[in-house]
Amino acid sequence: MRNIALKLMYNGTAYHGWQMQRTEASVQETLQRGLSMVCGERVKLTGVGRTDAGVHAERYVANFRTSSRIPIDRLPFAVNTHTPEDIVVREALEVADDFNAIGSCLKKEYTYRIYNSRIKNPFYVNRAYFYPKKLDEAVMDAAARAFEGTHDFRAVRSVGTETKTTVRTVHYCRVTRRGELLELKVCADGFLYNMVRAITGTVLYAAEGKLTAEDIPKILDSGDRTLAGPTVPPGGLYMTRLWYEDERLND
């Protein structure tokens, strides 16, 4: 049995997230179906994380085990002929037997994109959060940086999948602007359910004058979800970088 890692990307608009669902289309199920056809046997993918419905991935890693002898360099092309155009396998690599896409991941980066303009842009529908009121990226960046460090992040998560602990380490959380597009980039050793979207909503509250960057440590200490900002829509969220010990998977 070979352990194969896939580097892929997907537009999540048409899917109910990465994870298999009983009644809804998922990225995992769609990709597994195509892989099973190529490998001539049922395969089960392990993904680096659960992206929610409508969330995208510019970088994503999943692995599976197979007895198929298909050459590794031909696998992406073969799989891509059996999947929709919104899911693309970029590369396939044979990895160590103990490699696990989620368990071996050291840290992840998500990017949330906000289209900050008075006029809508049709090319950003389901791809960025349209926000017509002028935003001050310096105020947002100061609020974003208040999330950096090791904290209990209960105040910025939705009730969903249970975890042993809600403590995470955020390596960086920054806001930048390129023209009318704002990006909040956050890198951490792990994320709670809806954590990035709640952080973004809180940063937007700071831009709206509803709280300050100095309030954020108190909000985190409280663990009270009602004190933080709202959970912003999923279409602006992307998984954008991953870090592994196997550096072939990091680009």
Residues noted as catalytic: 52
d(CA 248, CA 238): 21
Nearest to 177 by CA among 140, 214, 203: 140
Q: Do 49 and 195 meet the contact criterion of CB atoms below 8 Å apart?
A: no
- Buried/exposed 107-117: b ≥16 CB within 10 Å, e otherwise: ebbbbbbbbbe
- What is the DSSP secondary structure assignment for residue 50, as one 8-state letter? -
Two structure tokens written together for 175: 């806001």
H/E/C letters for each residue in 183-247? EEEEEECCCCCCHHHHHHHHHHHHHCCCCCHHHHHHHHHHCCHHHCCCCCCHHHEEEEEEECCCH
